[in-house]
């Protein structure tokens, strides 16, 4: 299996939807923001070399380590089921808001170009 091995058309979007659904179902009250961004949203994802980029913003009052570990487990299960890697970026709500106010380029790009859920 190579990094550029073909995957079925639309599988990156299906993997993104599966992750979002499972994350919201299991941890919806803990999520402040949830974005899918990058090549999946732009419709440019193809092969195993493309991943599914997800930014998860956790509420400040939750056990971040425990929720993050569970979300990583969900991402791994989705990868095994669908094929593409689900690349998680996890921030606390206060850090996300600070980055947004500061004009952090990563957060600005995700918010401007990503697909929001939560």
With a threshold of 0.75, does the pTM exceed it? yes
Give the tokens for residue 44. Answer: 């440019």
User: Is residue 56 one of the residues assigned to a domain?
Assistant: yes
Weakest-pLDDT range from 22-36, 37-51, 80-94, 96-110: 37-51
User: Is residue 15 one of the residues assigned to a domain?
Assistant: yes
Total domains in the chain come to: 1
User: Is residue 2 one of the residues assigned to a domain?
Assistant: no
pLDDT by residue (tens digit) across 51-78?
999 999 999 999 999 999 999 999 999 9
Question: DSSP strand E in 12-67: where?
Answer: 31-37, 52-58
Beta strands 31-37 and 115-117 are antiparallel
User: Is residue 4 one of the residues assigned to a domain?
Assistant: no
User: Is residue 58 one of the residues assigned to a domain?
Assistant: yes
CATH of the domain at 21: 3.30.460.10
Write b or e for each residue in 22-56: b if 16 or more Cβ atoms lie within 10 A of its Cβ, otherwise e: bbeeebeebbbbbbbbbbbbeeebeeeebbbbbbb
Domain that holds residue 90: 11-117
Between the two ends of the chain, the Cα-to-Cα distance in Å is: 35
Angle of helix 105-113 versus helix 93-102 axis, rounded to 10: 100
Please state, rounded to an integer, the average pLDDT across all residues of the chain. Answer: 92
User: Is residue 21 one of the residues assigned to a domain?
Assistant: yes
């Amino acid at each position: 299996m190579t990094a550029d091995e073909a995957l079925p058309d639309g599988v990156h979007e299906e993997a993104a939807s599966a992750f979002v659904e499972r994350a919201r179902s299991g941890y919806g009250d803990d999520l402040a923001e949830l974005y899918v961004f990058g090549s999946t949203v732009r419709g440019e994802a193809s092969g195993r070399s493309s991943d599914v980029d997800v930014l998860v913003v956790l509420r400040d009052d939750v056990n971040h380590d425990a929720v993050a570990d569970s979300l990583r487990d969900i991402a791994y299960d989705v990868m095994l089921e669908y094929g593409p890697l689900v690349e998680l970026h996890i921030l606390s709500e206060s850090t996300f808001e600070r980055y947004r106010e500061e004009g952090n380029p990563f957060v600005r790009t995700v918010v401007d170009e990503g697909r929001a859920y939560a």
